[in-house]
Structure 1
Amino acid sequence: MKLSIPLLFALSATVCAPWSAPVYAAPDSNAQEQVELIRLRAGELPAVKLTADILYRVLAAEIAATRGRYDMASQTLLDLTRETSDPRLAKRAFQYSMADRDLPRALAAAREWAMLAPQDPEAIASSLALAASNGQTSGLASALSTRIEKADDKEQAIAQASAIVNKMSDKRLALEVLEKTLPESLRALPVAHLALADAAWAAQDADRALGEAQKAQALEPGSEAAAQRVLEYGLKVDPDAAINQTRAYLNTYPQSRKLQLMLVNRLIERREFDTALDQVGRMRRLAPEDFDLLYTEAEVNIRAERYEQAQALLNEYINVQTQRRQAISDKASNAAADASDARLLLVQIAEKQGRLDEAIVQLDLIDDGSLRYQAQVHKAVLQARQGDLASATKTIDALKPQNDHERTVAALTLASIYREAGRTDTAVETLKKADEAMPDSTEIKYDLAMLYERQGNMDQFEALMKRVIELDPNNANAYNALGYTYADQNRLLDEAEGLLERALELDPDNPFILDSVGWYLFRTGDLEAAIEYLERSYRQLPSADVAAHLGEALWASQRHDEARSIWREGKLQDPDNETLLKTLKRLGVTLK
């Protein structure tokens, strides 16, 4: 289905300090090489003469990186690292390799960096983490244990080891490695059990996760971090027991605000609204000056659909923030932002009740600078929903965008308003003008491409979507839109496969992409795999479109009763869904 991989490390080559090579005489003997090795191990820089060739290659690498050619930049710097033994070049090569998503080269650079700078914890951690992410765990536990043993701050070292192991894709193996990393001698520290608890949770072993969290809490009864895990992991094992244990903890440690809010959220998820409100009431009695709890109580009431109570609480909260603004300048407080957040909740309530005029009034009262622009954009959307297209257009035209992002939002919103009003041609013209003004905006190109597809202009759709991918190679939605279109039209299936594989790699849990992959597999005749992906999508996104696809796959598998059941659910969601209605008509199915 169309919809209008983060790097392992958040490292940006563009923010690194400029590189400058040390100027020494070049080594010319084995004895000198031994001296250099000793210096490296001591954390000193190598004695390398800055030749014209080295300078030229460093500059060439930096220029290549500024042009997005991270592959060329990283390989050049990695070659230079091996020639000069300079750890700074290795670090730079590692960063550019990560930007290029070339994990094998990144691992090679990280290993060079760690070897050349063995005292640099960032170098060692990067090398170990990247090796773990590639499934290379041999010796990892012993290496991490050694690091912890030598560390002055054992708790920090354990936390770092846990972060490294968490990079592993096989979470059960990660848990095994962490168990070997943390021998019994270290398990007197609560942080060791917290690390094991998190690893067990990631490995989907909730019982073990809860047990480790309880051990951490037994070692440090007042640990709020341990109590949070007992609640979170315990809800999976025995929800009532977890909630009771949390309440017992809060009776002893009533100031644990984060845990109290966490408990409120979990109670809301369980739709235990009265119990959640009772918990908020306890918090308010303990801290009557904590006016943020008014906002929290209002949120609970909104979830419980008790809108009158929520409105009263939000108006009280706004009055408090107004008094704060009168007493303290806006620069010295966040009162304006807090009041605006409350008004957004009032907007939400008014929309749920169909009182769009009241929602618009609240949007006009928002005066926080960071929200004002978006509030007016939303006002235009509501005016369009009221059928007042002239006022909606006037509101958009009155906006004063300060940057390309705001200009993009305005153009996309106006185009969406025209599209929903059935004026697709006007929407196209709106985005064509915006595209001319901001030719590097992938958001505008993407939406314009989707409008072309809606018009049946497939050549323009394909050309623009390919341009989006060219400008933004990590745009999962663009790969998905193009791949789904090919699969839906039952053509260029080989290309569709590659596009959808890339989309899935970039965003593996996206229900829209899962639906597209399932539909592609249906087109290629792999019904079993198609149903698996479509069911995964439907669990996250029980929409009529996904129901249409899943039902057809089930129907083709002779699972007619299941197909009818899914289609009925989809029709309840959206009785006029075009995809679903066409599917039923094509297959000659009538739902009772």
Structure 2
Amino acid sequence: MTPELLYRLMVAEFAVQRGELDLGAELLLRAARDTSDPRLAKRAFQLSMVGRNFALANQAAQLWALVAPNDPEAVASSLALSASSGQTAGLSAALWKRIENAEDKDLAIGQAAAIVGKLSDKRAAFEVLNAALRALCAIFPSRTWPWRMRHWAAQDAERALVNARRAQELDPSSEQAAQRLLEYGLKVDPAAALASAQAFVARYPQTERLGALLVSRLAERGDYTGALALVQQMRRNTPENFDLQFTEAEVNFRAGRLDAAKALLNDYITVQTQRRLSLDDKASDAMADASDARLMLVRIAEQEGKLHEAIEQLKRIDEPALEFQVRVHEATLYGRLGDLVAARKTIESITPQSDNERAVLAMSLASIYRDAGRTDLAIQTLAKANTAVADSAEIKYDLAMLYERQGNFQAFERLMREVMALRPDDANAYNSLGYTFADQNIRLDEAQRLLEQALSLEPDNPYILDSVGWYLYRTGDYESAAEYLERSYKKLPAADVAAHLGEVYWAMGRKEDARKIWAEALKKDPGNDVLVKTMQRFGVK
């Protein structure tokens, strides 16, 4: 440890403390390269993952595996990052070597499956793992079932289900096999899958993971009675598991049984408060659990329109990790109440720890002003933040959209191009500028280039599909316009999209279809300005 290295490490850690994760990770990665110290490479990898800088994380993982070739965590991280970026060369051989050297072959197979699961091409993932396990399967045929589960990722649900059944036959008490059977079966035969899972839980009542999964799936399918009956039975079997009380509250909340949910949550908070008093905070998750319950009470109060009650619940949350989120939410609720002074004071009371938090505060306050109809104050807030926080694509984007709303298209275009320069892979910026050109029926050639770029980045984004459809309408290609707008409306049945689609139908002579879709959208969003003005232009009441 030289003075120079100590200084570099301190600078890196100070950067992390300020929230500058990318800078801290980069500094640590450089130090790791200079010292070949795997601890520094691991720390750089972890920080990069937290900051979602996957390119930097990949570099750190590769170095970590290089300087610590016998560290299974380092090798697994390196392989996983390679898989996530689509790098499959040598992956099968590396996975087989890990499995061959592992004492617990089943665990190693599961880890290998998780690694290839990060590949975007699921059939390629299956082929990689297939090659890695070919020799093992000849020696240990009973171990092939985790590998065969990759058929699921390759979109072969029926075959995956067959193999899940075989896995359960090999080990009828395997909770993992029962979980697979439920998940795959829901895609093939939902009724049979649910019945099988319920039978397994009845046979093995201490099965908590499958039970929790089954509760979730029943609730997702709208079977709240079944979900509640199951979670209540689980609570009777394991009364010491207080998490199930929270789960029961969640199901009641989703079912719209708000009074029952509130009663359960308040009891849960009482229990967690008692736990917190009897245990050291550092050794207990009681504070976080109570905070989760209060956050759900906030959602319930908002759903009931009791915003003052929601604010009161937020004020009672004392979990340090949630402080920033809670105060911003509190300011937003003041804004919804129309108390802009309290909203601004709440935002100003928060001390940001990083440029990212400064940006969030500015955008939150601007959003509050915008929703209150004070576009002037929203622009003033973001313009100031755009100067204070250098190169924030998020601030520039939000400010650009406000300028567009105000009719200042020159400033809108300038900022959108700055966003594109900062984030060349940001589809939203291309889409926003391209749509604006198409909507104004100007510079259509440039609009086409911008929208093609946006579509190449996010081909299934309903907002982009709507923009492309609107551009095609402007160019007179009504058939193609209708196709894109129908795809958009199927994914995003919003009034703006309905307004565009109805106008295209009208131009095609399909006036009844236009009236039908406008009427449908009007029921959901009667005050939508775009929809109302579109109908007025065509004389439709």
TM value normalised by structure 2: 0.79
Q: Is the 8 A contact 1:298 1:311 kept in 2?
A: yes
Q: 1:195 pairs with 123, 147, 162, which one?
A: 147
Segment of structure 1 superposing worse, 158-167 or 458-467? 158-167
8 A contact 1:412–1:444 mirrored in 2: yes
Matched, 1:386 2:337: yes
Matched residues in 1 for 2:290 and 2:80: separation? Answer: 44
- Conservation of the 8 A alpha-carbon contact between 2:494 and 2:521: yes
Give, in whole Å, the separation in 2 of the partners of 1:355 and 1:128: 49
Contact 2:438/2:470 (<8 A) preserved: yes
Corresponding residue of 2:422: 471
1:282 to 233, 248, 260: 233
Name the counterpart of 2:492: 541
Residue 297 of structure 1, CA deviation: 0.8
- Alignment of 1:324 with 2:272, yes or no, is no
After superposition, residues 342-421 of structure 1 pair within 5 angstroms as 342-421=293-372
Residue 272 of structure 1 corresponds to 223
Instruction: Pick the aligned partner of 1:291 from 234, 238, 242.
Output: 242
**Which residue in the other structure is 1:487 paired with?**
438
Q: What is the CA-CA distance between 1:482 and the residue it aligns to?
A: 2.0
Gap runs ≥5 in structure 2: 1-24, 37-52
Q: Secondary structure at the match of 2:149?
A: helix
CA separation of 1:145 and 1:261: change in aligned 2, threshold 3 A: closer
* In 2, Cα distance between equivalents of 1:212 and 1:360: 51
| Counterpart-to-counterpart distance in 2, 1:123 and 1:353 | 46
Which of structures 1 and 2 has the bigger CA Rg?
Answer: 1
Aligned to 1:67: none
**Correspondence 1:444 to 2:395:** yes
- Compute the displacement of 1:375 (Å): 2.0
Gaps of 5+ in 1: 1-11, 23-95
Instruction: Check the 8 A contact 1:190/1:215 in 2, yes or no.
Output: no
- Structure 1 partner of 2:256: 305
Q: Is 1:144–1:161's contact at 8 Å kept on the other side of the alignment?
A: no
Question: 2:531 aligned to 560, 564, 580, which one?
Answer: 580
Equivalent-residue separation in structure 1 for 2:84 and 2:212 (angstroms): 36
Query: Taking structure 1 as the reference length, what is the TM-score of the superposition?
Result: 0.72
2:378 equivalent to 1:430: no
**After the TM superposition, which of the residue ranges 315-324 and 438-447 deviates more from structure 2?**
438-447
Report if the CA contact (8 A) 2:80-2:118 is conserved. no
Contact 1:435 1:445 in 2 (8 A): yes
Q: Provide the rounded CA distance (Å) in 2 between the counterparts of 1:274 and 1:566.
A: 35
The count of residues paired between Structure 1 and Structure 2 equals 489
Q: CA deviation at 1:556?
A: 4.0
Structure 1 residues 482 and 149, CA gap change in structure 2 (3 angstroms) = same
Cα 1:521–1:171, aligned 2, differ >3 Å: closer, same or farther?
Answer: farther
CA distance in 1, matches of 2:114, 2:478: 39
From the superposition, tell whether residues 224 and 122 of structure 1 become closer, same or farther in structure 2 (CA, over 3 Å): closer
Contact 1:520–1:530 (Cα < 8 Å) also in 2:
yes
Cα shift readout 1:555-575 (whole Å, capped 9, x = no counterpart): 444444443333222112211
Distance 1:228 1:156 in 2: 17
Match of 2:202 among 237, 247, 251: 251
1 or 2 for the larger relative contact order (CA 8 Å, sep ≥6)? 1
Q: Determine the C-alpha separation between the residues in 1 that align with 2:447 and 2:501.
A: 19
Kindly indicate which of the two structures has a greater share of residues assigned to helix: 2
Matched, 1:212 2:163: yes
Q: Cα–Cα, structure 1 residues 409 and 169, in superposed 2: closer, same or farther, change >3 Å?
A: closer
Structure 1 residue 530: Cα displacement = 3.7
SS, match of residue 204 in structure 1: coil
Give the aligned residue type for 2:148.
L
1:94-140 Cα offsets, whole Å, 9 max, x none, are: xx996799xxxx9xxx9xx99xx9xx977996899599x48x99x99
Whole-angstrom distance in 1 between the partners of 2:84 and 2:291: 44
Q: Specify the alignment match of 2:17 in structure 1.
A: none
Aligned pair partner of 1:338 in 289, 297, 302:
289
Q: Does 1:230 align with 2:181?
A: yes
Per-residue deviation, 1:218: 2.0
Corresponding residue for residue 8 of structure 2? none
By how many angstroms is 1:396 displaced? 2.4
Distance (whole Å) between structure 1 residues aligned to residue 116 and residue 313 of structure 2: 49
8 Å contact from structure 2 (residues 455, 464) kept in 1: yes
Q: 1:472 to 1:15 in 2, by over 3 A?
A: farther
> Are residues 185 and 377 of structure 1, via their aligned partners in 2, closer, same or farther at CA, if it must alter by over 3 Å?
closer
Residues 544 and 574 in structure 1, CA contact (< 8 A), matched pair in contact too: yes
Residue 346 of structure 1, CA deviation: 1.1
Report how far residue 461 of structure 1 moved. 0.7
| Aligned-pair CA distance for 1:178 | 5.8
- In structure 2, distance between residues paired with 1:181 and 1:304: 46
**Does structure 2 conserve the Cα–Cα contact (< 8 Å) formed by 1:189 and 1:219?**
no
The one-letter code sitting in structure 1 at the alignment partner of 2:371 is E
**Contact 1:230-1:242 within 8 A present in 2 as well:** yes
Deviates more, 1:154-163 or 1:277-286: 154-163
Q: Is the contact between residue 190 and residue 220 of structure 1 (CA under 8 Å) also seen in structure 2?
A: no
- Contact 1:197–1:211, Cα closer than 8 Å, also in 2: no
Equivalent residues of 1:129, 1:167 under 8 A apart = yes
Seen in structure 2, the aligned counterparts of structure 1 residues 206 and 318 have a Cα distance that, compared at 3 Å, is same
